[in-house]
Amino acid sequence: MQSARAPRPQPDPDSRQLRRVALSGLLGTAVEFYDFLVYGTVAALVFGELFFPRADPAVGTIAAFGTFAAGYVARPLGGIVFGHFGDRLGRKSMMLMTMVLMGAGSFLIGLLPTYDTIGVWAPVLLITLRVVQGIAIGGEWGGATLMVVEHVEHAERTRGTTHRRRGLWSSFTQLGAPLGSVTSAGVVTLVSMLPDDEFRSWGWRVPFLLSLVLLAVGLFVRLKVAESPLFTAAKQAPRTPARRPPLAEVLRRPRPLLLACCVGIGAFTAQALLTGFMISYAVDHGYTRPQVLIAVTVASCAALVVLPVASTLSDRVGRRPVVLAGAVASAALAFPVLALVDSGSPGLLILALVLGQGLAQSTMYGPLGALLTEMFGTHVRYTGASIGYQMATLVGAGFSPVIASSLLAAYDGSSTPLSLLLCGSAAITALTVWRLRETHADALDSPAHRLDNPAPEGIRS
């Protein structure tokens, strides 16, 4: 008699869905950073002469980075719009819309005629597409991160576990940043090996057109993702008739929103100065384009290791000490990093970016997704986390390349103002962390995460 086989264990649907959501967040953020860093890289290399040819070279570079900032200026607007509907209608539908707008905007930039073809309409259309991208990206990060964090919370409750891993799982969304950087740097490195005339005529378009591939893959994954269980439960709960719009709820107690903005400034300033802006700076100091892009790629690969480590550590010891350690390291390394870059050695350039971006910046950035989502209640979490994050990108990353370009022009190319800019932004993050309340061990719907709680959430008591 043949013995009956034991039934094969069925996969846990929560675990399967959680992995799918994490992959969706990773791809979404990768598309986001790919699109923005491709623009930053190409802007540093050729956009000044292609779209602003009548300006002198220094003004052309500043103008090109100005369109870079235009995309960041639109981000808070995207956070408000998509945050509102994400808190009212659902996370998933907003994630699909933001990804389509993001990828389409980048693809259309790759098709834009230059100034020589259509005159002043070239920079006008370029800035318009940057604004569209910025609005879409303003809602992308919040939806992707919330979906991961809220699915993690649901899965842990279902299993009855008390060890929270929101930092670890949300790090997949954060990993999209270095992944997008590696991909963009790799693609631009390949096309930059073309002869200069070919790169300027058509080669710069290739990285933008390839964003369509990332868009297709990302949409395929996102269509299979289920809506956030926490949002579904909150939607089905009885509602008070006088509930304000999410933005009004967040602004009613603005201090958590201000703290959410300030805590990310150090990470985003370092990210902007040590990636897109660094390409222009290093090329002006005698490095070849491939040398700089290789250094950025190596630093991004280091970040792929440091980010999940820092995020996992924040699940164990707390968000505050990990982010604070990254801020202190960023300030301490600011002058050494720029000195290494100024040395003219390609090997020291790689070391500089690994230390500044791969280590210090990634330590600040890794726990940020979990930290910001833990500062707001479920019914306003999309709005609050998105606006806080996007305001930090606007201040830290949107304006810092323009400020850095102006400082270099004013101080005859000295790197000292850039080091001070890195130190100052890290100090803002460090001081903000000191005012935050630790949230890594709290349930997402605990009283600490309600805007109507007498002690505003996210504030250190």
In this predicted structure, the answer to whether residue 12 has a pLDDT above a threshold of 70 is no
**Weakest mean pLDDT among 254-258, 320-324, 399-403:** 399-403
Residue 288's alpha-carbon distances to 162, 285, 344, 353, in angstroms, are: 52, 9, 11, 16
DSSP at 286: T
Q: Which amino acid is at 392?
A: A
User: 375-390: b or e for each residue (b if 16 or more CB lie within 10 Å)?
Assistant: bbbbbbbbbbbbbbbb
Distance (Å, whole) CA 103 – CA 32: 8
Asked if 92 and 151 touch (Cβ cutoff 8 Å), the reply is: no
**pLDDT recorded at residue 442:** 79
Estimate to the nearest angstrom the gap between the alpha carbon of 121 and the chain centroid: 30
Residue 217's alpha-carbon distances to 99, 175, 212, in angstroms, are: 11, 17, 9
Count CA within 13 A, CB hemisphere, residue 1. 2
**pLDDT recorded at residue 157:** 72
Give strand pairing partners of 436.
Answer: 459
Which has the higher per-residue pLDDT, 310 or 381? 310
**pLDDT recorded at residue 249:** 85
**pLDDT recorded at residue 58:** 61
Cβ atoms within 10 Å, residue 119: 11
Furthest-apart CA pair in the chain: how many Å? 90
**pLDDT recorded at residue 269:** 95
Count CA within 13 A, CB hemisphere, residue 446. 15
Grade residue 451 by pLDDT with cuts at 50, 70 and 90.
Answer: very low
Quick: pLDDT tens for 408-445. Answer: 888 887 889 899 999 999 999 999 998 888 888 777 76
Asked if 326 and 364 touch (Cβ cutoff 8 Å), the reply is: yes
Cα angle 103, 106, 108; round to 5: 110
Asked if 188 and 206 touch (Cβ cutoff 8 Å), the reply is: no
Quick: pLDDT tens for 58-102. Answer: 656 666 666 666 777 888 888 899 988 888 888 888 888 888 888
Arithmetic mean of pLDDT, 263-288: 89
Torsions phi, psi for 459 (to 5 deg) = -100, 135
Count CA within 13 A, CB hemisphere, residue 81. 17
Distance (Å, whole) CA 265 – CA 396: 5
- Please provide the DSSP assignment of 201-263 as one string: HTGGGHHHHTHHHHHHHHHHHHTTPPPPHHHHHHHHS---TTPPPHHHHHHHSHHHHHHHHHH
**pLDDT recorded at residue 10:** 45
Reported CATH class of domain 17-229+246-449: mainly alpha
pTM: 0.81
Quick: pLDDT tens for 240-267. Answer: 555 678 888 888 888 889 999 999 999 9
Arithmetic mean of pLDDT, 385-411: 87
**pLDDT recorded at residue 9:** 46
User: Which residue shows structure tokens 């008739």?
Assistant: 241
Asked if 426 and 334 touch (Cβ cutoff 8 Å), the reply is: yes
Closest CA to 402 of 307, 277, 302, 288: 277
Quick: pLDDT tens for 148-173. Answer: 888 888 777 776 665 578 888 888 88
Record the tokens describing residue 317, joined without a space.
Answer: 């010891």
